[in-house]
């Protein structure tokens, strides 16, 4: 019984101090998310800079990028965020400054099929 009282005598001031100080965590779902400098989030592309060289696809250690070729000048660069390690290797490998990692969270999705993102969809103009 004495050990129980000693434990209570120790815990009560600790609990009071914690309640008086308030939370020490971030305010995120109730306030804006404060991301640190250099946070690597969503992979994005500048489609006009992409040449379809597939250097980003080749150097991605997580196989999160895929290049579908439909001819010499027709291709699609597809990104699979569920595979991505957010290492930034694709950004470093791109010689044309087409791929970059933004400072945003990757949004959730109800299924894997909804996560697939087409970053670049380049098809030659066949209207002429």
pLDDT reported for residue 79: 94
pLDDT reported for residue 24: 73
Tokens 């993102």 found at: 117
pTM exceeding the 0.85 threshold for the entire prediction: no
Q: What domains appear along the chain, each with residue ranges and CATH number? A: 38-122 (3.30.70.3270)
Which tokens is 40 given? 């690597």
pLDDT reported for residue 127: 53
Kindly give the parts of the chain with pLDDT less than 50.
Answer: none
pLDDT reported for residue 58: 96
Of 74, 82, 72, give the one whose Cα is nearest residue 110: 82
Q: Which parts of the chain fold into alpha helices (H)?
A: 2-21, 55-59, 89-93
């Amino acid at each position: 019984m004495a050990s129980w009282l000693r434990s209570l005598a120790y815990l009560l001031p600790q609990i009071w101090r914690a309640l008086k100080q308030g939370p020490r965590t971030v305010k995120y779902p109730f306030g804006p998310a404060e991301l640190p400098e250099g946070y690597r989030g969503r992979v994005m592309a500048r489609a006009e800079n992409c040449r379809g060289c597939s250097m980003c696809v080749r150097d991605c250690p997580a196989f999160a990028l895929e290049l579908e070729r439909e001819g010499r000048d027709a291709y699609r660069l597809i990104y699979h965020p569920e595979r991505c390690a957010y290492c930034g290797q694709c950004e470093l490998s791109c010689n044309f400054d087409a791929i970059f990692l933004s400072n945003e969270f990757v949004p959730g999705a109800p299924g894997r099929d909804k996560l697939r993102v087409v970053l670049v969809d380049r098809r030659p103009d066949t209207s002429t």
